[in-house]
């Protein structure tokens, strides 16, 4: 069913309204980089632009007294409950029904296996811990059911005409279907009718990468009659001149698994070579041994300086110094500023279709989902798949060449939008992973080291936020990654600390900016190009607001560091400029992260939080046009039809990324439902009594301005399934969707 079909959605709405509030405090900066308004969809297409919308309606926004405390604006108003206009509030039975379906996001997002954010690494008695474990509302070990055909077609038939199949290497023992007509009539689900029955992949590229398995195969196949009267089924493709003709089966076979429009595609051979240790890493092994020895010397230095004269210890340590086997290559220059909002690396949610949509709406930088270093080094397919990006992410960002943050020798034509994020618990893991990423992925802006992931599965193994308790290890990791990553800069993402009452960000920032005191004379700085600080501790998760006051304090430290580079009076401790990222000047970029949900908050953080840019996570998931609002400097009251248009685009991009066969359709459905679990939290600005909206405000039970808007606000996963079926048809009987919160599980009823 096509969302633009009036039978599917019998609602006619105006396009997005621009809602102006008081001008942002940095109106000069907005004027500097705000281009022509971004085109947006009005009915599932991208034909209409904001400039064609009716004249913006000035909606009064209640002005509250506000102040800035340590870089954070303090609003003098009640918090915790969204201020929805009275005419949209529900009462009685309707309110009870909606309230029953509301998700507790502290449980769904902020909690995991243990039911708490404390340190459980010392608890090895897992059975006892499980018995005493506090029950939470989160689902773990989620299973989504079978995603492929019940009787799959043999791969030797997928791209070939009916009378020209490839020889099956398994012969009669093959358990897959070889009779093409039988497969099409009996062993697959019917073709989808959404998008007018036209395959989105074929429509975009002129050829479908799913062949006969495509759920839209009727749109790119036909039956032909030969001279002898035999009828044959053949696949079609678009020719260069625009005509439709038979597909070349041999070309399809040669490019099987290769998708147009994507970058960072790592071949099966390369992954097998990694898995079988056939990739030459002898030089990397030498460097790993050297960095491990530096760790031993650092421990010795820290122990001796407590009981001996520091100058003597430094002299003795210098005598033991061994030159590193390799020095960092010159890095590609980076650029972050108010005009470059960043999409945070998001596990599960930060998939390619979502990132592609975010870039289309104005995001300038994106990151992969977090990949684990060890599986990357071992050639694991699932982790290398996270490195794939759309060609729009490989394009240079839109920047103002005269902006103050442009560093020496920055070349926009060599820059790109997409970066990789990795995690690991030992220097050798991340060093080898950085080497492999540099060797096999040619379109990476940065490699980011995750030092902030709060989930127990990472923390208990010494990854993520656990690294915050070992700043010297973080330094060795970044130093090693910097030496082997070629021209790709190294960055890091951290939290305020592990415990709320013991913040450690300043110590970590000092290490990342200049290196430890014991290393500065001998080794220089580790070469970190940028640091992102999430304004929460691991212990807090999402239970409290991000502390932008603390981010501002750390931003002041970074400002001081940037001012000191090249002008340190203590030349003995001055870092070697060869080891500084973004030289000359060695500027360290600093980004903030946490709770950004409006353009007003974004510019407030840039102006008062002492950050170069803001990394946006949940706010972008809930309303991806937040980047468009940042570019235009105003609120956009998106209609429900426009929002449905973004969902339609996500579906098309999902089929493009994961395939239009049964597996790809259900994979797209699963990640669409994951995204809808966030988008349903959006409260249209047109029904709010006052602005700005707050990410942490919970809505009382409310109805939308029409039935579609009410449907999009539903917290019931059965309604999310209905939305997915508008574009992907009925879910198969084997499909299950298990959201993070247990009360929202959905299973298809046979």
pLDDT of residue 413: 93
- Structure tokens given for 24: 């942002």
Domains of the chain in start order, with CATH, are: 144-256+719-750 (no CATH), 268-525+535-540+548-578 (3.20.20)
HSE of 23, CA atoms in CB hemisphere, 13 A:
7
| Positions of the chain with pLDDT under 50 | 1-14, 21-66, 69-70, 75-77, 104-137, 253-254, 256, 569-572, 742-750
Q: What secondary structure letter does DSSP report for 347?
A: T
Cβ 727 vs Cβ 651: under 8 Å: yes
CA distances from 77 to 23, 66, 73, 84, 696 (A): 20, 9, 12, 14, 14
User: Nearest CA to 615 among 607, 606, 623?
Assistant: 606
- Structure tokens given for 528: 């970190």
- The catalytically annotated residue of 208, 441, 451, 453 is 453
**CA–CA separation, 704 vs 698, rounded Å?**
16
**CA–CA separation, 646 vs 45, rounded Å?**
9
Residue 545 Cα to chain centre, angstroms: 21
pLDDT of residue 747: 44
**CA–CA separation, 667 vs 644, rounded Å?**
19
**CA–CA separation, 244 vs 157, rounded Å?**
21
**CA–CA separation, 661 vs 647, rounded Å?**
19
Which residues are 237's β-sheet partners?
245
**CA–CA separation, 136 vs 716, rounded Å?**
19
Cβ 404 vs Cβ 455: under 8 Å: no
- Structure tokens given for 635: 């609120």
Q: Under DSSP, is residue 114 helix (H, G, I), strand (E, B) or coil?
A: coil
Over its C-alpha atoms, the chain yields an Rg (Å, rounded) of 27
Which residues are 528's β-sheet partners?
490
Report phi then psi at 348, rounded to 5.
Answer: 70, -55
User: Nearest CA to 117 among 422, 496, 500, 495?
Assistant: 500
Cβ 742 vs Cβ 137: under 8 Å: yes
**CA–CA separation, 492 vs 588, rounded Å?**
11
pLDDT of residue 321: 62
pLDDT of residue 32: 41
Q: What secondary structure letter does DSSP report for 686?
A: G
Q: Is 453 a catalytic residue?
A: yes
| Residues 6 or more apart whose Cβ sits within 8 Å of residue 560 | none
| Tens of pLDDT, residues 549-603 | 999 999 999 998 888 775 554 444 555 566 777 765 678 999 999 999 999 999 9
pLDDT of residue 51: 31
- Structure tokens given for 433: 């992973």
- Structure tokens given for 37: 């308004």
pLDDT of residue 409: 81
| Residues 6 or more apart whose Cβ sits within 8 Å of residue 178 | 154, 156, 157, 165, 168
SS3 content of the chain, % helix, strand, coil (to 5): 40, 10, 50
- Structure tokens given for 20: 């102006």
pLDDT of residue 575: 56
| Tens of pLDDT, residues 214-238 | 999 999 999 999 999 999 999 999 9
**CA–CA separation, 370 vs 653, rounded Å?**
21
Place of tokens 């034509």: 413
């Amino acid at each position: 069913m096509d969302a633009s079909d009036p039978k599917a959605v019998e609602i006619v709405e105006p396009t997005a309204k621009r809602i102006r509030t008081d001008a942002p405090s940095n109106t000069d900066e907005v004027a500097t980089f705000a281009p022509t308004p971004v085109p947006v969809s009005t009915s599932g297409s991208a034909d209409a632009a904001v400039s064609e919308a009716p004249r913006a309606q000035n909606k009064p926004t209640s002005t509250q007294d506000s102040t800035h405390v340590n870089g954070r604006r303090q609003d003098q108003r009640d918090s915790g409950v969204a201020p929805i206009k009275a005419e949209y509030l529900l009462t009685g039975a309707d309110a009870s029904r909606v309230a029953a379906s509301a998700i507790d996001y502290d449980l769904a997002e902020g909690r995991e296996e243990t039911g708490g954010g404390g340190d459980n690494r010392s608890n090895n008695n897992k059975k006892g811990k499980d018995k005493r474990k506090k029950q939470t509302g989160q689902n773990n070990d989620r299973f989504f059911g079978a995603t492929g055909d019940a009787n799959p077609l043999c791969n030797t038939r997928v791209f070939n005409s009916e009378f020209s199949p490839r020889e099956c290497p398994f012969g009669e023992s093959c358990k897959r279907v070889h009779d093409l007509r039988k497969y099409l009539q009996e062993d697959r689900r019917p073709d989808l009718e959404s998008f007018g029955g036209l395959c989105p992949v074929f429509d975009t590229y002129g050829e479908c990468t799913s062949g006969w398995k495509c759920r839209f195969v009727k749109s790119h196949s036909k039956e032909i009659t030969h001279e002898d009267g035999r009828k044959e089924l053949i696949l079609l493709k678009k020719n260069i001149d625009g005509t439709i003709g038979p597909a070349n089966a041999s070309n399809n076979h040669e490019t099987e698994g290769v998708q147009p429009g994507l970058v960072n595609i790592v071949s099966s051979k390369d992954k097998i070579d990694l898995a079988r240790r056939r990739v030459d890493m002898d030089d990397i092994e030498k460097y790993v041994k050297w960095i491990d020895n530096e760790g031993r010397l650092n421990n010795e230095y820290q122990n001796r300086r407590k009981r001996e004269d520091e100058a003597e210890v430094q002299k003795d340590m210098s005598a033991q110094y061994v030159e590193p086997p390799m020095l960092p290559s010159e890095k590609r220059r980076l650029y972050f500023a108010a005009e470059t909002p960043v999409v945070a690396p998001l596990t599960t949610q930060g998939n390619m279709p979502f990132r592609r949509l975010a870039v289309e709406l104005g995001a300038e930088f994106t990151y992969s989902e977090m990949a684990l270093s060890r599986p990357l080094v071992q050639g694991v397919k699932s982790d290398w798949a996270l490195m794939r990006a759309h060609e729009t992410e490989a394009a240079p960002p839109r920047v103002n060449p005269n902006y103050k943050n442009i560093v020496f020798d920055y070349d926009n034509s060599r820059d790109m939008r997409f970066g990789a994020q990795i995690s690991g618990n030992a220097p050798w893991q991340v060093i080898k992973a950085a080497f492999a990423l540099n060797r096999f992925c040619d379109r990476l802006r940065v490699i980011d080291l995750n030092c902030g992931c709060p989930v127990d599965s990472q923390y208990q193994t010494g990854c993520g936020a656990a690294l915050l308790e070992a700043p010297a290890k973080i330094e060795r990791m970044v130093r090693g990654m910097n030496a082997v990553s070629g021209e790709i800069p190294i960055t890091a993402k951290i939290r305020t600390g592990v415990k709320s009452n013991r913040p450690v960000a300043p110590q970590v920032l000092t290490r990342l900016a200049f290196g430890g005191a014991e290393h500065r004379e001998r080794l220089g700085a580790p070469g970190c190009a940028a640091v992102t600080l999430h304004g929460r501790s691991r212990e807090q998760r999402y239970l409290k607001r991000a502390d932008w006051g603390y981010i501002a304090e750390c931003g002041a430290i970074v400002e001081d560091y940037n001012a000191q580079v090249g002008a340190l009076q203590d030349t003995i401790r001055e870092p070697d400029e060869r080891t500084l990222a973004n030289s000359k000047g060695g500027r360290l970029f600093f980004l903030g992260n946490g709770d950004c949900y409006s353009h007003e908050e974004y510019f407030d953080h840039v102006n008062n939080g002492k950050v170069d840019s803001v990394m946006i996570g949940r706010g972008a998931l809930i309303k991806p046009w937040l980047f468009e609002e940042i570019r235009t400097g105003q609120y956009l009251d998106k209609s429900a039809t426009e929002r449905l248009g973004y969902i339609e685009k996500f579906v098309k991009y999902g089929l493009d990324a994961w395939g239009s066969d049964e597996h790809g359709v259900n994979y797209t459905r699963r990640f669409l439902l994951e995204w809808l679990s966030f988008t349903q939290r959006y409260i249209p600005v047109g029904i709010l009594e006052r602005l700005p909206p707050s990410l942490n405000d919970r809505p009382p039970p409310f109805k939308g301005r029409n039935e579609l808007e009410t449907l999009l606000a539903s917290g019931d996963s059965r309604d999310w399934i209905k939305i997915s079926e508008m574009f992907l048809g009925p879910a198969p009987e084997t499909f299950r969707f298990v959201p993070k919160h247990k009360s929202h599980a959905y299973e298809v009823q046979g």
